[in-house]
Amino acid sequence: MNRKYSHFLLLLMLCSLPAQAKLYKWVDDDGQTHFGDKVPNQYLSKEHQELNHQGATVNTWPPAETEEQRLEKLKSERVRKEEEKQAQLKAKRDRVLLDTYTTERDLVAAKTARLDAVGSQLQLSESLIADTERKLEATEKQITSIKASGNKVPKNISDKMVREEKQLVTHRKIAQGHLDRRQKINTQFDGYLERFRELKAEKKRIKDEREARRRKELGLDH
């Protein structure tokens, strides 16, 4: 719509409306600007404005969100909440780390203690594995000897070998669990130590900056 004609139409509308009436402005699908005391239903979901009797905009209604925009907004909100959650968890872990350990030596001592405990459990598992392997080897030799003599292997001996095989599998799984836990402890405490150093360095930096500001305010630095 021609700008001069649009302004002329607006003036006519302002002059013809009662004092209490509201005036709205909207743009149709062809890009034409319209004014009226009521926005047509098909344009309520699109951007439109309410004007005062001087023709100034007093309210604006943005266009309704498309389904794609709504889904994108929900996705962004989920990402924001997840990032906020992770930040809170990280801050909590940092507080626990600083509250639990005072120095790097404390961290190293805690790591060593846990590794020693796992090492003892691993040593026990390895001992049980070796003992079960010896028993199984003896049972297998016994069965081989019985078969070589042409006799039938007694059920109790066959069952004994099955039990020993199952025990060996179980002990090996337990031992592997101890190995995995030892690796996890190493990785975990290496991460703790790195983060501990970062937090201590940040704490020192903040302290130094505060001290520098204090000295500057007191005029101690020239």
Q: Encode pLDDT of 51-60 as tens digits.
A: 887 778 888 8
pTM over 0.75: no
Delimit the domains of the chain by residue range.
Answer: 3-61, 66-100, 102-213
Express each pLDDT in 122-180 by its tens digit: 999 999 999 999 999 999 999 999 999 999 999 999 999 999 999 999 999 999 999 99
Identify the helix (H) or strand (E) that includes residue 3: helix 3-16
Handedness of CA 111, 114, 115, 116 (dihedral sign): positive
Helix 155-218 with 67-100: angle, nearest 10 deg: 90
CA distances for 189 relative to 95, 98, 183, 218, angstroms: 16, 14, 10, 43
Asked whether the beta carbons of 35 and 24 are under 8 A apart, the reply is yes
How big is the chain by its Cα radius of gyration, in Å?
40
